[in-house]
Amino acid sequence: MLTSIISATSLVSSTVVVMMNEIGLPDYDVLTVIVLIVLLSAKEILSASNYWTKSLATSLNMGIFTLLIVFASIVTFKITEII
């Protein structure tokens, strides 16, 4: 009984330490930039085609605006790492 309590406590403690060590932006910044470029390209290409609708524009804008905010935070985070 005592060993199971100790092992459960150490498991929770190690999980908390791992969560505390990973504060900040993860290393998905390259993936974010690639997806942003793909969405911007898709918006430009589809805006000239027959498939362009208002709902498609709204859907693409939601993804693009969200990724632009993430991109701005990545740039800010990288600048503060340098300083």
58 pLDDT more than 80: yes
pLDDT tens-place string over residues 3-57:
444 444 444 444 444 444 355 556 778 889 999 999 999 999 999 999 899 999 9
Neighbours of 39 (CB within 10 A): 19
Delimit the domains of the chain by residue range. Answer: 25-82
Residues 39 and 56: their CA atoms lie apart, in Å, by 12
